[in-house]
Amino acid sequence: MDPRVEQFMAQIIAKNAHENEFHQAVQEVAESLIPYIEENPKYKHAKVLERIAEPERVILFRVPWLDDKGEIQINKGYRIEMNSAIGPYKGGMRFHPTVNLSILKFLAFEQVLKNSLTTLPMGGGKGGSDFDPKGKSDNEVMRFCQSLMTELCKHIGANTDVPAGDIGVGGREIGYMFGQYKRIRNEFVGVLTGKGREYGGSLIRPEATGYGAVYFAEEMLKTRGDSFEGKVVTVSGSGNVAQFATEKVNQLGGKVVTLSDSAGYIHDPNGIDAEKLAYVMDLKNVKRGRIKEYADKFGCEYYEGKRPWEIKCEVALPCATQNEINEEDAKTLVSNGCFVVSEGANMPSVPEAVEVYIENKILYGPGKAANAGGVAVSGLEMSQNSLRLSWTREEVDQRLHQIMKDIHATCEKYGKDSDGFINYVNGANIGGFVKVAEAMLAQGAV
Ligand code: NDP
């Protein structure tokens, strides 16, 4: 490791003990940024990197709620307000039993650079709870969301901090949280994004992250004169991002052959077409069932406890969770001919896997660039709420598409090596950093 990175990381680890995911995210960024900062000493003197690695504010609170048996349950609620240099804090809420400070700080840190890349005026934040919506009734989810918002509403606002969805937080949860915020604060404002269409949501928001990851992959393919036409694609996850990534791949002429959940994956060599995808959406979003049921329904293979990276493909779209592709998985992907990885999920590839991609010079779009479409359309939802207007589906999709092209161009500008290879990791990290750093310099030691 570069000794300057090592020295910087020693401080981060000392100050944030046991926060492994946070260390991982900061180190990846530091490796790109420290050489750049050495060449641009104004950022070094102002300690911009040290400052962006420290949250502006961390809010941690108790969330008590009554289950259907009348028993009190207690969860933790969090909001990390990471950086507001270029706009109000913005980032999703995650409800999953694995949620802890380390995971939310890594996500909030990534979010700062991601939001900057979108070109929209949004700072970075993230939040959530160790609450597990799986197996809970709608009423239990509602009571939990109301209790969480009873505290969270003191800290957020349309011009302060605007949460959205993430793992375990979809339209249902956003609706319950919005209702409680409105009731307590007595104001109808765009304090959350990912809202239903009837009460201020934007068209294309549900689709945005998955569509965006595919648009980004399409731009990467174009740099080699290629397209999705006829490509075999593996997708992990079967939630919001995975579903709409699959839909967009189908529209562009590719064939998605896998989907997964935390229990295992299905392999459908004939492709998950529109009809089968409609079944998945109903299974996951309405019935809240398991992906195994797809294999029973359509007569394909199901692999319990495994991940889809052993299946031969040309394009891989990890859309489930962090650290879901290890070094071995990455080697298997590359040796099977995969040459495009576009991350719908946040930090799905471990650092050793990223090294495999870069060494083999494949087209690798890291999450903070490739999955920025979700927050970009959240930004467009905020604009529409402020204007009290709603744009058409075509208009929002066209803006999303343009933003993904612009993010690709930024990565190319800051990430192109002397041999012409585009290192999208450096491109996204430096491209996202510059705007935030300039704003922080202008605002002084805050
Ligand atoms: P969902 O909750 O809709 O779906 C998550 C999917 O990933 C489910 O299939 C889930 O399976 C699977 N999954 C979750 N945790 C694990 C795990 N530990 N191991 C294996 N599989 C797991 O979430 P989203 O689709 O919204 O989010 C997916 C990823 O995309 C996350 O990394 C998120 O941060 C990222 N992202 C999401 C954005 C958005 O707009 N929603 C924006 C940008 C990034 P199961 O049902 O079994 O838990």
Instruction: Tell me the pLDDT of the chain (446 aa) as tens digits.
Output: 899 999 999 999 999 999 999 999 999 999 999 999 999 999 999 999 999 999 999 999 999 999 999 999 999 999 999 999 999 999 999 999 999 999 999 999 999 999 999 999 999 999 999 999 999 999 999 999 999 999 999 999 999 999 999 999 999 999 999 999 999 999 999 999 999 999 999 999 999 999 999 999 999 999 999 999 999 999 999 999 999 999 999 999 999 999 999 999 999 999 999 999 999 999 999 999 999 999 999 999 999 999 999 999 999 999 999 999 999 999 999 999 999 999 999 999 999 999 999 999 999 999 999 999 999 999 999 999 999 999 999 999 999 999 999 999 999 999 999 999 999 999 999 999 999 999 999 999 88
Q: How far is the CA of 252 from the centre of ligand 1 (A)?
A: 23
- Position in ligand 1 atom list of the atom nearest CA 114: 43
Which residues on neighbouring strands pair with residue 234, listed in sequence order? 258, 316
Domain match, 215 and 131 both: no
Q: Which of these, 42, 95, 62, 69, lies nearest to 442 by C-alpha position?
A: 42
Residue nearest to atom 21 of ligand 1 (CA): 262
Residue 65, in any domain of the structure: yes
Domain match, 305 and 157 both: no
In order, the DSSP letters of 114-136 are HHHHTTSS--EEEEEES---TT-
Last residue of a domain, one of 125, 153, 187: 187
Residue 326, in any domain of the structure: yes
Q: How far is the CA of 266 from the centre of ligand 1 (A)?
A: 16
Domain match, 181 and 247 both: no
Domain match, 41 and 69 both: no
Domain match, 352 and 213 both: yes
Q: How far is the CA of 375 from the centre of ligand 1 (A)?
A: 15
Block residue for tokens 């998955």:
210
Report the predicted TM-score, pTM, of the whole model to 2 decimal places. 0.96
DSSP character for 320?
S
Residue 283, in any domain of the structure: yes
Q: How far is the CA of 320 from the centre of ligand 1 (A)?
A: 4
Residue nearest to atom 44 of ligand 1 (CA): 345
Domain match, 26 and 87 both: no
pLDDT of residue 123: 98
> What is the rounded distance in angstroms from the CA atom of residue 319 to the CA atom of residue 428?
19
> What is the rounded distance in angstroms from the CA atom of residue 85 to the CA atom of residue 105?
17
Q: What are residue 59's phi and psi, to 5 degrees?
A: -115, 125
Residue 354, in any domain of the structure: yes
Last residue of a domain, one of 370, 389, 416: 370
Domain match, 336 and 293 both: yes
CATH number at residue 107: 3.40.50.10860
> What is the rounded distance in angstroms from the CA atom of residue 407 to the CA atom of residue 112?
14
Which residues on neighbouring strands pair with residue 89, listed in sequence order? 161
Give the number of residues written for the chain.
446
Check pocket membership of 167 for ligand 1, CB cut-off 6 A: yes
State the first-to-last Cα distance of the chain, in angstroms, to the nearest integer. Answer: 31
Check pocket membership of 381 for ligand 1, CB cut-off 6 A: no
| 78: number of Cβ within 10 Å | 25
- On whether the CB atoms of residues 373 and 350 are closer than 8 A, the answer is no
Last residue of a domain, one of 33, 52, 71: 52
> What is the rounded distance in angstroms from the CA atom of residue 56 to the CA atom of residue 99?
20
Domain match, 124 and 240 both: no
Residue 292 falls in the annotated catalytic set: no
Round the CA-based radius of gyration of the chain to a whole number and report it.
21
Block residue for tokens 């700072």:
123
pLDDT of residue 446: 85
In 194-300, at which residue ranges do the beta strands (DSSP E only) sit?
232-235, 255-261, 264-267
CATH number at residue 348: 3.40.50.720
DSSP character for 285?
I
Beta pairing, strands 340-342 & 363-365: parallel
With the most atoms of ligand 1 within 8 angstroms of its CB, the residue from 99, 260, 262 to mutate is 262
Residue 292, in any domain of the structure: yes
Number of domains in the chain: 3
Domain match, 217 and 344 both: yes
Q: How far is the CA of 365 from the centre of ligand 1 (A)?
A: 18
Residue 104, in any domain of the structure: yes
- On whether the CB atoms of residues 164 and 194 are closer than 8 A, the answer is yes
The domain containing residue 177 runs over which residues? 57-187
At 219, the amino acid letter reads E
With the most atoms of ligand 1 within 8 angstroms of its CB, the residue from 166, 216, 238, 322 to mutate is 166
- Position in ligand 1 atom list of the atom nearest CA 367: 44
> What is the rounded distance in angstroms from the CA atom of residue 79 to the CA atom of residue 60?
7
Check pocket membership of 169 for ligand 1, CB cut-off 6 A: no
> What is the rounded distance in angstroms from the CA atom of residue 402 to the CA atom of residue 51?
31
Beta pairing, strands 315-317 & 89-95: unpaired
Block residue for tokens 């997708």:
235
- Position in ligand 1 atom list of the atom nearest CA 96: 15
Check pocket membership of 285 for ligand 1, CB cut-off 6 A: no
Q: Which of these, 327, 242, 334, lies nearest to 285 by C-alpha position?
A: 242
**Tokens in use for 204?**
């294309």
**Sheet-wide strand order for 301-304:** 301-304, 264-267, 255-261, 232-235, 315-317, 340-342, 363-365
Block residue for tokens 């709409």:
244
> What is the rounded distance in angstroms from the CA atom of residue 112 to the CA atom of residue 91?
9
Check pocket membership of 318 for ligand 1, CB cut-off 6 A: no
Domain match, 359 and 238 both: yes
Domain match, 250 and 315 both: yes
Residue nearest to atom 20 of ligand 1 (CA): 262
Q: How far is the CA of 167 from the centre of ligand 1 (A)?
A: 4
Pick the catalytic residue from 126, 195, 276, 368. Answer: 126
Q: How far is the CA of 47 from the centre of ligand 1 (A)?
A: 34
Domain match, 310 and 161 both: no
Strand, helix or coil for residue 361: coil
Residue nearest to atom 46 of ligand 1 (CA): 261
Residue nearest to atom 48 of ligand 1 (CA): 262
Residue 403, in any domain of the structure: no
Distant-in-sequence, close-in-space partners of 176: CB < 8 Å, separation ≥ 6: 141, 142, 145, 146, 149
Residue 386, in any domain of the structure: no
Q: What H or E segment, with its residue span, contains residue 314? A: none
